[in-house]
Amino acid sequence: MIRQQCELVREPGFCSCCYKCAIEEGENCGLNLGRCRRALSCRALPGDADPWGAIQSGRAVCQRTNSNTITANS
């Protein structure tokens, strides 16, 4: 179920034809979890030994954009 008044984004997956609410700041994100809302990027936490692995596995977090960090879903 989609919560009211959320930013709709295409759901990840085979066809990307369905919509869901964008992931909010501080929530877990990753390539298979969906997109962060506008002005946020899916980023590995500081000090993560494997930042790409964090994004791929869904242990990254939606955070405000910073140009010095590996990101996905920006």
**Domain coordinates in residue numbering, the chain:** 25-72
Specify whether the CB–CB gap between 31 and 16 falls below 8 A.
no
Specify whether the CB–CB gap between 43 and 73 falls below 8 A.
no
pLDDT at 7: 92
Look at residues 59, 66, 63, 73 and name the one whose alpha carbon lies nearest to residue 10. Answer: 73
- State the pLDDT confidence band at 70, using cuts at 50, 70 and 90: low
Q: What is the pLDDT of residues 32-56, one digit of tens each?
A: 888 999 999 999 999 999 999 999 9
Query: Side chain identity at 40, as an amino acid letter?
Result: L
Would you state the structure tokens that stand for residue 22, as one six-digit string?
């964008």
Whether the predicted pLDDT of 1 surpasses 70? no
Q: Does domain 25-72 have CATH number 4.10.40.20?
A: yes
State the average pLDDT for the chain: 84
